């Protein structure tokens, strides 16, 4: 076996309080592909900084093979002090670097090299930093969340580029698809220590469960041994006999081992507080268009979003994903066409830029709104410390300014703020940024159980496959095409991002959620009967909703079927009929309301 390029052994580091790293380490051989995984706050980025030589640990050793060329991509690259992106990339080449390769990489990543680093977006800064890391063709690449702020075309380009390199790679990422494609070994950082699996990431989660199950068995054995020792302490030592000091010390040591073996009991808990049921139709778009200057961002889009849909919106950066999301939620008005929102919508939005977070406010004030020490969570009040623990924040972080939180911690804080409010429509703009894999699993499970509607913008292909029931993809020139299923289903149906022949061909296929424009209806006037229905339907729908609530209350009686099987069947049939009648009323009301708006607008 080839000697390692890099070897970390017995690394320890304490950043106030309990040790962050306690005997951690790993080795990387030439050409190896290793992914470093662990919970947010477990110390992954810190360990990678130590590997890069940017941070000196309290203890342990770092060995780097002499002559090894190492490049490190941090989560937040610093381009200050450079006149252009090309200067920034050239500065990382080294004495034998090829300047042409640096310029070529920038071009492939959509940058000219003349950009002013002070005016770059997060995605552009990330692309420049990737070009700088790849340009010298290093022996060892250390990558911390390389896909953050990248769109799907850039992620797929990066995946192909990394696959073609001969460099050894150590990578931290929340992108499961990237990890599954590239990794050949996994280093798991947990409670300050590392474990290694010499297989790819696709095997990791099953292996992790096996490890945790073995820990539980070991902890159970330890519990029984402690119980025996405690029994001896109570009954085996009399006042007339000298205590066995060594045995007492052994008991203390067993208790310490048990404390270390126990995983954090206050695990992350994600639960959306659901408001009342929305109407069956959440949003209907008819021929909507939106322009910025002479560029069409959305053009002639017909779309219907139904209650319970999980609609993914995908496209390259700048394609208009956030614009489309704002149109579908009524935050912006289209330049052409019409959007009708359904009844009884209570939306909650998770913003990718996290603009709602004031960096100067403390974590506790952000959750409570600055009023006292309780958080309004749905219909109940929770103490802020208890609610913080649900999202893996420590009590001592209550007075921590938001500005010093890590990216993952800010992501969890946004989730904590959003999920405290009741909703029946979740609007999620890049919710997976900076979240660890376990948090993503819980977020996915929460969305799967959520009975409302989800509108989701994401570049995470695996997350879209797990969550989305349909995907709307940017096809270029302002056209958007809907596909059933997740991202992989879109690709299998011939869809791709950015337009072209495949997208144009796909655009001609009928979509199950496409709304046919009522052109014949728009030509006529509202009759007296239509006007009367438009006035009466809201009250009629409210009455049906009350009846549905009453029937659900009747059926909630667990003993009803045993006590009165006939009454149970009758109530079930009545509930089905009431729900069908409500759906028909909603369809009729929406049709008439859109017709009224079209006539008034004409």
Handedness of CA 95, 99, 101, 102 (dihedral sign): positive
CA 599 to chain centre: 42
Q: Is residue 272 part of a domain?
A: no
- Whether residues 212 and 133 share a domain: the answer is no
- The pLDDT assigned to 112 comes to 92
CB-CB contact of 364 with 382 (8 Å): no
CA 567 to chain centre: 45
- Residue 439: exposure state from Cβ atoms within 10 A (0-12, 13-18, ≥19): buried
- Whether residues 190 and 214 share a domain: the answer is no
Please say which residue of 206, 223, 247 terminates a domain: 206
Give the model confidence (pLDDT) of 464-500 as tens digits. Answer: 998 899 999 998 889 999 998 889 888 888 777 753 3
- Whether residues 375 and 428 share a domain: the answer is yes
Q: Is residue 266 part of a domain?
A: no
- Whether residues 461 and 549 share a domain: the answer is no
Does residue 317 sit in helix, strand or coil? Answer: coil
- The pLDDT assigned to 598 comes to 66
- The pLDDT assigned to 7 comes to 96
Q: Is residue 268 part of a domain?
A: no
- The pLDDT assigned to 172 comes to 95
- The pLDDT assigned to 157 comes to 93
Q: Is residue 364 part of a domain?
A: yes
- Please give the DSSP secondary-structure letter assigned to residue 17: S
- The pLDDT assigned to 387 comes to 85
The count of other CB atoms within 10 Å of the CB of residue 420 is 17
Nearest to 111 by CA among 126, 96, 97: 126
- Whether residues 459 and 565 share a domain: the answer is no
- Whether residues 292 and 378 share a domain: the answer is yes
Does residue 394 sit in helix, strand or coil? Answer: coil
Task: Domain of residue 534: give its range.
Answer: 519-601
Q: What is the CATH number of the domain that holds 563?
A: 1.10.287.380
- Whether residues 406 and 481 share a domain: the answer is yes
- The pLDDT assigned to 522 comes to 38
Please tell me the distance from the alpha carbon of residue 208 to that of residue 211, in angstroms, as a whole number. 5
For helices 245-261 and 204-231, give the axis angle rounded to 10 degrees: 150
The residues, ordered by sequence, that sit 6+ positions from 115 with a Cβ below 8 Å of its Cβ are: 84, 85, 124, 128
- The pLDDT assigned to 520 comes to 37
* Chunked mean pLDDT (size 10), the chain, 602 residues: 87 82 94 92 91 94 94 91 94 84 92 91 90 94 92 91 95 92 94 92 89 78 66 52 54 55 54 75 91 89 91 88 90 91 86 71 86 78 85 83 79 82 87 80 83 90 90 90 89 68 34 37 59 81 84 80 82 83 77 70 56
Please tell me the distance from the alpha carbon of residue 131 to that of residue 101, in angstroms, as a whole number. 9
- The pLDDT assigned to 355 comes to 63
Which tokens is 284 given? 């209907």
- Whether residues 379 and 429 share a domain: the answer is yes
pTM over 0.85: no
- Whether residues 254 and 296 share a domain: the answer is no
Give me the residue label for tokens 């998770």. Answer: 350
- Please give the DSSP secondary-structure letter assigned to residue 79: -
Helix boundaries (H) for 345-402: 363-368, 384-390
Nearest to 416 by CA among 466, 451, 448, 368: 368
Q: Is residue 560 part of a domain?
A: yes
Beta bridge partners of 304: 284
Q: What is the CATH number of the domain that holds 114?
A: 3.40.50.300
Please tell me the distance from the alpha carbon of residue 599 to that of residue 524, in angstroms, as a whole number. 9
- Are β-strands 470-476 and 479-484 bridged in parallel, bridged antiparallel, or unpaired? antiparallel
- Whether residues 222 and 329 share a domain: the answer is no
- The pLDDT assigned to 16 comes to 64
CA 148 to chain centre: 11
Torsion of CA 423, 325, 514, 290, to 10 degrees: 140
Number of domains in the chain: 4
Which tokens is 263 given? 């995983």
For helices 122-134 and 152-164, give the axis angle rounded to 10 degrees: 10
Which tokens is 386 given? 């208890």
The residues, ordered by sequence, that sit 6+ positions from 440 with a Cβ below 8 Å of its Cβ are: 174, 176, 432, 460, 463
Give me the residue label for tokens 């008819």. Answer: 286
- Whether residues 106 and 218 share a domain: the answer is no
Q: Is residue 224 part of a domain?
A: yes
Q: Is residue 270 part of a domain?
A: no
Rg of the chain on CA atoms, in Å? 29
Which tokens is 289 given? 């268009």
Handedness of CA 245, 250, 256, 259 (dihedral sign): negative
- Are β-strands 479-484 and 425-429 bridged in parallel, bridged antiparallel, or unpaired? unpaired
Q: Is residue 513 part of a domain?
A: no
- The pLDDT assigned to 502 comes to 32
Please say which residue of 206, 223, 248 terminates a domain: 206
Please tell me the distance from the alpha carbon of residue 63 to that of residue 153, in angstroms, as a whole number. 37
- Whether residues 301 and 165 share a domain: the answer is no
- The pLDDT assigned to 129 comes to 95
- The pLDDT assigned to 512 comes to 35
Angle formed at CA 415 by CA 414 and CA 421, multiple of 5 degrees: 100
- Residue 67: exposure state from Cβ atoms within 10 A (0-12, 13-18, ≥19): exposed
């Amino acid at each position: 076996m080839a000697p390692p390029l890099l070897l970390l052994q017995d690394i320890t580091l304490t950043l106030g309080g309990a040790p962050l790293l306690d005997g951690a380490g790993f080795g990387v051989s030439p050409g190896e592909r290793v992914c470093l995984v662990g919970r947010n706050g477990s110390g992954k980025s810190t360990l990678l900084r130590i590997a890069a030589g940017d941070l000196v640990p309290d203890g342990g050793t770092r060995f780097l093979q002499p002559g090894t060329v190492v490049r490190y991509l941090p989560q937040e690259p610093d381009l200050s002090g450079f006149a252009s992106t090309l200067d920034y990339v050239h500065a990382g080449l080294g004495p034998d670097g090829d300047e042409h390769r640096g310029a070529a990489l920038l071009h492939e990543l959509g940058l000219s090299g003349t950009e002013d680093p002070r005016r770059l977006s997060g995605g552009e800064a990330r692309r420049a930093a990737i070009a700088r890391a790849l340009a010298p063709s290093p022996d060892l690449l250390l990558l911390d969340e390389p896909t953050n702020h990248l769109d799907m075309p850039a992620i797929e380009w990066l995946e192909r580029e990394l696959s073609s390199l001969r460099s050894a790679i150590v990578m931290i990422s929340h992108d499961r698809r990237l990890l599954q494609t590239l990794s050949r070994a996994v280093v798991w950082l947990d409670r300050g220590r590392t474990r290694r699996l010499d297989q790819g990431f696709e095997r990791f989660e099953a292996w992790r469960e096996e490890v945790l199950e073995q820990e539980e068995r070991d902890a159970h054995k330890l519990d029984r041994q402690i119980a025996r020792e405690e029994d001896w302490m109570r009954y085996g030592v009399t006042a007339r006999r000298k205590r066995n000091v060594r045995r007492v010390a052994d008991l203390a040591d067993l208790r310490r081992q048990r404390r270390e073996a126990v995983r954090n009991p206050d695990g992350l808990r994600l639960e959306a507080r659901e408001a009342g049921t929305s109407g069956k139709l959440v949003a209907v778009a008819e021929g909507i268009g939106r322009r910025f200057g002479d560029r069409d961002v959305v053009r002639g889009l017909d779309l219907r979003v139904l209650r319970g849909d999980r609609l993914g919106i995908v496209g390259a950066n700048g394609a208009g994903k956030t614009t489309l999301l704002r149109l579908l939620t009524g935050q912006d008005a289209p330049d052409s066409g019409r959007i009708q929102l359904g009844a009884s919508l209570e939306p909650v939005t998770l913003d990718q830029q996290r603009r709602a977070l004031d960096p100067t406010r403390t974590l506790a004030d952000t959750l409570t709104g600055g009023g006292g020490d309780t958080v309004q969570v749905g219909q109940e009040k929770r103490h802020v410390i208890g609610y913080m623990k649900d999202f893996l924040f420590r009590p001592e972080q209550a007075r921590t300014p938001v500005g010093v939180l890590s990216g993952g911690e800010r992501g969890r804080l946004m989730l904590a703020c959003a999920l405290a409010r009741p909703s029946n429509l979740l609007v999620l703009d890049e919710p997976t940024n900076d979240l660890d894999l376990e948090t993503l699993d819980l977020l996915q499970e929460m969305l799967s159980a959520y009975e409302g509607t989800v509108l989701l913008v994401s570049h995470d292909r695996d997350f879209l496959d797990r969550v989305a029931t349909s995907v709307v993809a940017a096809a270029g020139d302002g056209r958007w095409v809907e596909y059933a299923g997740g991202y992989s289903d879109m690709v299998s149906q011939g869809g791709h991002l950015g337009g072209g022949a495949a997208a144009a061909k796909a655009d001609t296929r009928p979509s199950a959620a496409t709304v046919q424009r009522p052109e014949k209806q728009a030509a006529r006037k509202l009759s007296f009967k239509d006007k009367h229905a438009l006035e009466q339907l809201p009250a009629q729908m409210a009455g049906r909703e009350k009846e549905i609530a009453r029937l659900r209350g009747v059926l909630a009686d667990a003993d009803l079927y045993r006590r009165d099987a006939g009454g149970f069947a009758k109530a079930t049939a009545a509930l089905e009929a009431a729900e069908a009648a409500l759906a028909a009323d909603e369809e009729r009301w929406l049709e008439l309301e859109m017709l009224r708006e079209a006539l008034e607008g004409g």
